[in-house]
Amino acid sequence: MEQLAFTQFLNHLFGGPVLGLLQALHIHPDYPAHPISNSFAMEVLVFLLLMVFFLAARMRLSVDSPGAVQHVVEGIEGFIGDMGDELIGHHYKQYVPYLVVLGLFILVGNLIGLVPGLESPTAVKIVPLGCALATWFYYHYQGIRRNGVLGYLKHFMGPVWWLAWLMFPIEIFSHLARVLSLTIRLYANMFAGEMVTLVFFSLIPLFVPIIFMGLHIGVAVVQTYIFVLLACVYLGEATAHEH
């Protein structure tokens, strides 16, 4: 495995403790000499960037003279809030923090691959799977919290009571398929985008890759939008009250 500079740095600092932790959990990493992978290192980098961004916004909060960072944060919050209001319902506000963090994590993860010397963590299967699983558990948890266990299970029975025996396994299965659908969509798009840019860069290194990099930015934004929008749709379905 070719290590990125940031991965090397993390392995140098935390490689020993991480290996010890993995061995204690009976997990054997592929490369024991450097157990932290590029994708994990990039996730850590995205996390650090977002922390800096949110801290910068928090430190300069002002009602009278909001700064540029505050304007950006308010714009993002407003955009996702509008989406939530439309797709989740009037009780959308409590879900906005999760949706904003999810959206920013995916967006920065998608775009970070455009920086030379860095890779998109979302172009590695395990990272979109993590985002999809987090969303999956989150909307089920919120559904149970809002409707109770029995009330939430009624969602899986369908509208016709005598068809409940058939609808229940179908619904369970379709909910499980959502994890796979969210994962494959994000992973495949980001992986393909990176590959196309890389192939054209190796064929014609001048000017042409810029077109594909532009395309990659478009795909990164659209995929983030779709992921967050589907999270809103799932949250809206899970937290809706049955009448």
Question: Candidates 34-42, 101-109, 174-182, 203-211 — which segment interacts with other proteins by CB under 8 A?
Answer: 174-182
> Residue 40 in contact with residue 15, Cβ under 8 Å?
no
Binding flag, residue 163, other proteins (CB under 8 A) = no
Query: What's the min distance (Å) between Cβ of 59 and other proteins?
Result: 27
Binding flag, residue 157, other proteins (CB under 8 A) = no
Per the listing, tokens 């196309």 go with 196
Query: What's the min distance (Å) between Cβ of 10 and other proteins?
Result: 33
Question: Candidates 20-28, 140-148, 177-185, 192-200 — which segment interacts with other proteins by CB under 8 A?
Answer: 177-185
Burial of residue 161 (CB within 10 Å: 0-12, 13-18, 19+) is exposed
Question: Candidates 37-45, 99-107, 122-130, 175-183 — which segment interacts with other proteins by CB under 8 A?
Answer: 175-183
Query: What's the min distance (Å) between Cβ of 225 and other proteins?
Result: 6
Per the listing, tokens 């993995």 go with 22
Q: Which residues, at least 6 apart from 233, have a Cβ–Cβ distance to it below 8 Å?
A: 87
Find, among 216, 14, 3, the residue nearest to 122 by Cα: 216
Binding flag, residue 185, other proteins (CB under 8 A) = yes
List 49, 76, 153, 229, residue binding other proteins (CB under 8 A): 229
Site for other proteins in 207-226 (CB under 8 A): 225-226
Rounded Cα distance, 13 and 18, in Å: 10
List 173, 203, 206, 241, residue binding other proteins (CB under 8 A): 173
Rounded Cα distance, 130 and 67, in Å: 34
- Long-range CB pairs of 119-123 (<8 Å, 24+ gap) are 119/4, 119/38, 119/39, 119/42, 119/194, 120/42, 120/190, 120/194, 121/39, 121/40, 121/42, 121/43, 121/46, 122/186, 122/187, 122/190, 123/187, 123/190, 123/191, 123/193, 123/194
Binding flag, residue 87, other proteins (CB under 8 A) = yes
Query: What's the min distance (Å) between Cβ of 181 and other proteins?
Result: 4
List 9, 97, 115, 174, residue binding other proteins (CB under 8 A): 174
Binding flag, residue 164, other proteins (CB under 8 A) = no
Binding flag, residue 125, other proteins (CB under 8 A) = no
DSSP state of 157: G
Binding flag, residue 86, other proteins (CB under 8 A) = yes
Q: Based on CB atoms, which residue is closest to other proteins, 146 or 178?
A: 178
Binding flag, residue 177, other proteins (CB under 8 A) = yes
Q: What is the DSSP string of 187-230?
A: HHHHHHHHHHHHHHHHH--SSHHHHHHHHHHHHHHHHHHHHHHH
Residues making contact with other proteins (CB under 8 A): 83, 86-87, 169-170, 173-174, 176-178, 180-181, 184-185, 225-226, 229-230, 233
